[in-house]
Amino acid sequence: MQNLKVDIVVMGSGGAGLTAAVTALDYGASVACFEKRPFQAGSVSNCAIGVTAVKNDPRYQAAAFNSIFNYTNYNGDPGVIKAWINNTWRILPFMDKVGAKYKLRAELPLEKVGKGEAGGFPPQTRIGDAYYMIGRGKGHGSAIVALQSRRYFEAHGGQFFVDTPIVDIFTEGGKVCGVLAKHNKTGEEYKVECKAVIVASGGFGNDREMIKKYIGHNYTDNNCSNGGDVLFNFFPTETMTGDGHKLCWKLGGAKGGMGINGHNLVPGPGIIGNTPWIAYDETRVMEEQPYFWVNKNGERFVDESQSSNHMAMGTSIARQPGKMGYIIYDDDTREYLETHGPDFEYFIFQAEHLHDIKGQFERLAKLGNEHAFMTDTLEELADKAGIDKEGLLKNVARYNYYCDQGRDGDFSKDPKFMRPVRKGPFYALRVFNAGYSTVGGIKVNGRMEVINDDGKPIPGLYSAGDCMVGELWGNPPVGGIGNYSHALGFGFTAADSACEYIGIKEEEL
Amino acid sequence: MQNLKVDIVVMGSGGAGLTAAVTALDYGASVACFEKRPFQGGSVSNCPIINMAVKNDPKYQAKAFSSIFNFTNYAGDPGVIKAWINNSWRFLPFMDKIGAKYALVHEVPYEEIGNPKDPGGFPPETSVGDSYFLVARGKGHGAAIVTLQSRRYFESHGGQFFVDTPVIDILTEDGKVSGVIAKHNKTGEEYHVECKAVIVATGGFGNDREMIKKYIGHNYTDNDCSNGGDVLFNFFPTETMTGDGHKLCWKLGGAKGGMGINGHNLVPGPGIIGNTPWVAFDETRVMEEQPYFWVNKNGERFVDESVSNNHMAMGTSIARQPSKMGYIIYDDDTREYLETHGPDYEYFIFTAEHLNDIKGQFERLERIGNKHAFMTDTLEELADKAGIDKDGLLKNVARYNYYCDQGRDGDFAKDPKFMRPVRKGPFYALRVFNAGYSTVGGIKVNGRMEVINDDGKLIPGLYSAGDCMVGEVWGNPPTGGVGNYSHALSFGFAAADSACEYIGIKEEEL
Amino acid sequence: MKLEIKDYCVRCGMCEDLYPEVFHLNVPEDRIDIKYDEIPPELEEKALGAIADCAVGAIFKK
Amino acid sequence: MKLEIKDYCVRCGMCEDIYPDLFHLNVPEDRVDIKFDEIPPELEEKALGAIADCAVGAIFKK
């Protein structure tokens, strides 16, 4: 048993945890950061390449705040929304400080805040300047930011423990007073006395019961074979079990809104790897095209010009029976994709033209992928893909009628994306929701203080990152809601509040 | 026991039920409409005075559709949204047909669809169509005339209308709707009706406490909010809205759709609200809409108060606060400002240039025992009397006054022109709850108003329209500000179209 | 003067809001009660007001 | 040529995605396994590729 005494303990070393740890350290607090896995970075080790930063200018911040609060149908907590938006400018000096490089990708003029063109995200959520983080090799920038934050933290007196999850948080007279951590391999216990704890333990993508109970989805493997409907493949681990949620709830913390951040994906061998950047084939690009989507009953369920909008597709697929959708091409469109090229670009794989789609489908079949189909007739496609035959034939005829008329009588889709589904062979992809991580569950206020059902803070208990970001939305939609700047903005805020609480920093009004 | 045979039975005679009944009749169907209460009108007997209609032009309809679908964070059912928007123009010829008058009050130019210059009390993305005033009689509200005239048209064109006779069961034969059983409330007379299709238009379940708690998480309360409850259904004083249609559809395998509360924030208790929202007993409604200083039970601000007249914003924000209540607090300077300069926001039902003798109104409310309006000399006293956390209130008032003196809102970026400090006693406060006009949603339907099961498959012959299914417009409806008379009308048209196509007396227009 | 209320009255309760001395919205029985069989002379003017103000014109002189 | 992986490797599994013949992401053990103690000559070029491509530069020649 080791005994320690620090001002602040941080639980988790992802985007939010390390940002809070470094920020608190620089205010002069003594900080210990406990990481359950053998390394730093949490879920940002595997994804984020860009970040949003709203200018440190009240006009931009007010426009961004109103756009987001309105867009959540006012379900989001305005204090939490403000904490994110008003602290994103700090990302740039933070990256300079820890030595991570970035470059401006697109500046957003004031009049365009929340009103940009749609692209892959709802216009109301495009609220700040877009920066691209410079990664190393074929990797993604956020892994470097996390690594450099850890190096800075350790070099400036921060105590960093890997393989050592926090197993309990202690209180005295209702106030946080310490934690107990335990090394995964050696079993060594660390009894830490502290004044404040910042819980930054991320999502609970590996806890099947929590996913079913709180989000209503069934966890499944990468092949979506066990009748499940959400896979957490982007972030291949088995450690995300909501430890922070359980401890905060045990201490009386209320349950906040919960959802899934990720986006729609064709599962199964030959399509997805460990990290989303590596394209085994061009299904990711084919799935983003604004052509013809149906559900299990063969019915269209969305204006397909939203196909590249991950919130629109994630939420729409989650509403369909079996929580799955199919995108179907005929041979003319297959040829169009190979000659003219795709209408929508998928921002990760830029492909002018697609290549030998027939060959790619044959390869997937050879690898045993059960979610890509190539058939000569629609009847055969219905049988093989498990789509209601009568529904499919009726709705393909209806859609072709509208294509010939050059208007979409059902969902007012832009006629230029109306491609009939007529000439075999037919190509179809079955698409599920892929969770990158779960979002939300720990209820906090705008100071990142963990609050109970009565809105009262639990003194000394703070939270930041995926585990609390549901409060930004209230009842989070499915998909397309993740933003690396959340983790950073909330990390800064949690550190500020904790340092004000322990009395080493004044609150700036 | 009476036996009848008709093509279509309509359950309920509110805005959606009577619109469906009249529309089906005009397609040539034989229709019987069964109303549980002794009269027609349902929940529109007591409210709407304005209706929205999107022009019958694909360009306008497409823009309106995407504005709404986007605003629901894509949780709304696009087919249902389309059925609402693309049928809303049919309101105009329908009104002419039944002899009810209307007047255009605001035309929305194409570029302002979902992006109005002045959003008024609603989220900008939801103002998507032209607004028409429903010409009313006396001091009443236009919708009551529309349903009365619809009933008269229905009865005079061969429709069979039964009052005091709720449908108590829907019968099926090998999975298809085949009839209903209805029973007169007073005589006990039973009606066995053979039919091919049933349109369930039974509205909300505002009087079923268990359903409200279980499906929406609110606690029903009386008009004084005295039993610790947090939502009152005062606008529509009845005891009959018990979700009969929901229960029958669910029994037949219909899936549960999104459910919420349509209504808006209100100060409860005697002297403030009457039976109908049109009659102002005093000026609290106007005071409550002003963009000044709101706090929750812990004394914390919880919203950018410039949305105070936005009923979805305030309803949803209040629903998120502890005990689902909020307080709007004025000091004496602002009281005087309201009496001299007049309110910054106009409440579209009570247009008051200046408020009058606010002190006297609060004294009157106290005299008649209203427990939700407070007038005190000090903030400490206000905290005690109103049940607000004292140091939370004092701390946050000081913080707010600091920002007022600086002319900037560091918390929610409120427009500085609405930053009025809370400094000079006496202080006036109103405790505000969510008032449900009705519940919304619960019966899951597709874009053809066909009731569907969890697998998305339809129950042949079973349709639904109106408040009982409108949750599908939203997916997970926000609290408040979600009601729109045009929902009832459009879904009534759509349900009648689909039912008449199903029984083969009408072709589907693609 | 006697008053009667037609069956198509929509029970909105506005008559009680405006003329509480003459009308009462009886929610349990789902109807409007007129407080006097014979309207006293001093309330006759209010009764005429109610006839004019009723949302659906369901109040008549019997 | 021998390879080693530093402790700050973020287990993103990209090395397995690009060079499956050299690396395997061992999810239960939460580490990346190198498939050869001594890298065969025909795979040395790929090993150098992995060193360059690693997201956090955690792959080194021992």
> What are the residue boundaries of the structural domains of chain D, listed by start?
3-61
Q: Which position has the higher pLDDT, C38 or A269?
A: C38
Phi, psi of B197 (to 5 degrees): -145, 150
Q: Which of B60, B61, B63, B74 to mutate to test the interface with A (most CBs of A within 10 A)?
A: B74
Helix H segments across A192-328? 208-210, 243-250, 283-287, 310-319
**What percent of chain A has a predicted confidence (pLDDT) above 90?**
81
Number of H helices, E strands in chain B: 15, 20
Chains A and B touch (3+ CB pairs under 8 A): yes
| Subunits with 3+ C-beta pairs closer than 8 A to D | A
Name the residue with tokens 């002190």: B359
B349 touching C (Cβ < 8 Å): no
The domain locations on chain A are 2-203+440-501, 263-434
Nearest to B17 by CA among B39, B37, B40: B40
- Range scoring the smallest mean pLDDT among A80-94, A303-317, A366-380, B439-453: A303-317
Against chain B, the chains showing at least 3 CB pairs within 8 Å are A, C
pLDDT in tens, B266-321: 999 889 888 887 777 889 989 999 999 999 999 999 999 999 999 999 999 999 99
> Average pLDDT in the A321-328 region?
95
Classify domain B264-435 by CATH number: 3.90.700.10
Do B275 and C30 count as a contact with CB atoms less than 8 A apart?
Answer: no
Contact A273 D31 (CB under 8 A): no
- Between CA A394 and CA A397 the distance in angstroms is 5
Say if the ipTM goes beyond 0.85.
yes
**Chains touching C, CB cut-off 8 Å, 3+ pairs:** B
First to last CA, chain C: 8
Is there contact between D and C if contact means ≥3 C-beta pairs under 8 Å? no
Residues B264 and B450: their CA atoms lie apart, in Å, by: 30
The pLDDT value given to residue B334: 98
Shortest distance between the Cα of C50 and any Cα of chain B, in A, equals 9
Average pLDDT rounded to a whole number, residues B340-358 = 88
Instruction: Tell me phi and psi for residue B61, to 5 degrees.
Output: -65, -40
CB interface of A with D, residues 12-41, below 8 Å: 37-41
- Test B412 with A75 for CB contact under 8 angstroms: no
Question: Angle formed by the axes of helices A15-26 and A484-501, to 10°?
Answer: 40
Q: Does pLDDT of A119 surpass 70? A: no
Residue among B184, B275, B285, B437 with most chain C CBs within 10 A, to mutate: B275
Distance separating alpha carbons of residues B84 and B67, to the nearest angstrom: 13
pLDDT higher at B266 or A464? A464
Q: Are D54 and A139 in contact (CB under 8 A)?
A: yes
Start-to-end CA distance of chain D, whole Å, equals: 8
* 3-class secondary-structure state, position A19: helix
- Rounded to an integer, what distance in angstroms lies between the CA atom of residue D46 and that of residue D62? 16
Residues of chain A neighbouring B476 (CB-CB closer than 8 A): 475
Taking residues A363-386, report their average pLDDT.
97
Chain pair A-D, CB pairs under 8 angstroms: 83
As a whole number, mean pLDDT of residues B2-23 equals: 98
Q: pLDDT by residue (tens digit) across A230-265?
A: 888 667 889 999 999 999 999 999 999 999 988 888
Inter-chain CB pairs, B–C, below 8 Å: 83
Looking at the domain that runs over A263-434, which CATH code has it been given?
Answer: 3.90.700.10
Q: Does C6 touch chain B (CB under 8 A)?
A: no
B2-204+441-502: in CATH 3.50.50.60 = yes
Average pLDDT over residues A151-163: 98
Report pLDDT for B235: 67
Residue (of A88, A64, A153) closest to A486 by Cα position: A88
Confidence of residue A404 (pLDDT cuts 50, 70, 90): very high
> Does the pLDDT of residue B447 top 80, yes or no?
yes
A175: exposed, middle or buried (C-beta count within 10 Å: 0-12, 13-18, 19+)? middle
Mean pLDDT of B377-405: 98
A474 and B320 within 8 Å at the Cβ level: the answer is yes
Q: Which residues of A touch B291 (CB under 8 A)?
A: none
Q: Does C54 touch chain B (CB under 8 A)?
A: yes
Reference B225, options B325, B362, B330; nearest CA is B325
- Rounded Cα distance between A294 and A86, Å, is 41
As a whole number, mean pLDDT of residues A419-434 equals: 96
pLDDT bracket for residue A348 (50, 70, 90):
confident
Q: Is the per-residue pLDDT at B237 higher than 90?
A: no
Test the A interface: residue of D5, D6, D8 with most A CBs within 10 Å: D8
Residue A339 C-beta-side C-alpha neighbours within 13 Å: 6
For C13, the closest chain B residue by CA position comes to: B275
Q: Would you give the DSSP letter of residue B305?
A: G
Q: Which pLDDT score, from 0 to 100, does residue A405 have?
A: 96
Tokens at A145, concatenated: 């930011």
Identify the pLDDT of residue A449. Answer: 98
Element (H, E) at B5: strand B2-5
A45/D25 CB distance under 8 A:
no
pLDDT on residue B273:
80
Looking at the predicted structure, is the pLDDT value of residue A395 above 80? yes
pLDDT at A233: 67
Question: Which residue from A minimizes the CA distance to D13?
Answer: A274
pLDDT at B369 over 90: yes
Class of domain D3-61: alpha beta
How far off is chain A from B73, nearest CA to CA, in Å?
6
pTM: 0.94
Does the structure show a pLDDT above 90 at B428? yes
Cβ distance B138 to C53 less than 8 Å, yes or no, reads yes
Chain C residues in contact with B147 by the CB 8 A cut-off are 10
Nearest chain B Cα to A323, which residue? B455
Chain B CB contacts of C7 under 8 Å are 38-39, 163
Contacts of A75 in chain B (CB under 8 A): 316, 320, 478
Within the 14-33 window of chain C, which residues sit less than 8 Å (CB to CB) from chain B? 14, 16-18, 25, 27-28, 30-31
Contact C11, B45 (CB under 8 A): yes
CATH superfamily, with its number, for domain A2-203+440-501: FAD/NAD(P)-binding domain (3.50.50.60)
β-sheet bridge partners, residue A11:
A34, A199
Confidence of residue B436 (pLDDT cuts 50, 70, 90): confident
Of B215, B53, D29, B427, give the one whose Cα is nearest residue A37. D29
Parallel, antiparallel or unpaired: strands C31-34 and B197-200: unpaired
The alpha carbon of residue B149 is apart from the nearest alpha carbon of chain A, in Å, by: 32
pLDDT for A118 beyond 70? no
Percent of chain A, pLDDT > 70?
Answer: 99
Please tell me if residue C57 touches chain B, with a CB cutoff of 8 Å: yes
d(CA C11, CA B37): 10
Chain A residue with minimum CA distance to D6: A39
Rounded CA separation A417/A398 (Å): 16
Say if CB A131 and CB A105 are below 8 A apart: yes
Q: At what angle do helices A15-26 and A141-155 cross, to 10 degrees?
A: 30
Q: What is the C-alpha to C-alpha distance for residues B76 and B69, in angstroms, rounded to an integer?
A: 6
Q: Which two tokens stand for residue A31?
A: 């900080």
Preceding peptide of A476 cis, ω within 30°: no
Q: Angle formed by the axes of helices B485-502 and B91-98, to 10°?
A: 90
- From CA B218, how far away is CA B232, in angstroms rounded? 10
Most confident of A202-211, B192-201, B233-242: B192-201
> Could you please report the per-residue DSSP string of B346-402?
-BTTB--SS---HHHHHHHHHHTT-SSEEEESSHHHHHHHHT--HHHHHHHHHHHHH
CB contact under 8 A, A136 and D55: yes
| Cβ neighbours of D21 (radius 10 Å) | 12
pLDDT score, position B123: 86
Give D18 to chain A, closest Cα distance, Å: 8
Q: What is the mean pLDDT of residues B362-372?
A: 95
> Which residue in A39, A139, A162 is closest to D14 by CB distance?
A139
- pLDDT score recorded for residue B350: 77
* Nearest one of A81, A34, A6, A28 to A200, comparing CA atoms: A34
CA distances from B261 to B203, B230, B437, B443, D50 (A): 12, 12, 8, 14, 57
**Residues 6 or more apart whose Cβ sits within 8 Å of residue A277:** A138, A139, A140, A348, D14
> Does residue B45 sit in helix, strand or coil?
helix
Which chain B residues are within 8 Å of A404, Cβ to Cβ? none
D47 contacts in chain A (CB < 8 Å): none
Average pLDDT, integer, range B43-61: 91
Residue-wise pLDDT for B115-170, tens only, equals 898 877 788 899 999 999 999 999 989 999 999 999 999 999 999 999 999 999 99
Q: Do A278 and D18 touch (CB under 8 A)?
A: yes
Mean pLDDT over D14-37 rounds to: 95
Distances from the Cα of B36 to the Cα of B87, B164, B202, angstroms: 27, 5, 9
Distance between first and last Cα of chain B? 43
Across the beta sheet with B130-134, the strand order is B50-53, B130-134, B102-106
φ, ψ dihedrals at A94, nearest 5°? -65, -45
For residue A17, give both structure tokens: 């945890």
Which residue from B minimizes the CA distance to A115? Answer: B115
**CA torsion angle B480 B486 B489 B494 (round to 10):** -100
Distances from the Cα of D52 to the Cα of A34, A278, B356, D47, D59, angstroms: 30, 16, 77, 9, 8
Main-chain dihedrals φ then ψ at residue A348, nearest 5 degrees = -95, -40
pLDDT, mean over chain B? 94
Least confident of A7-21, A93-107, A211-225, B442-456: A211-225
- What is the model's pLDDT at position A87? 97
Pick the residue from chain C with its C-alpha nearest to B100.
C56
- Give the distance from residue B140's alpha carbon to the nearest chain C alpha carbon, in angstroms: 4
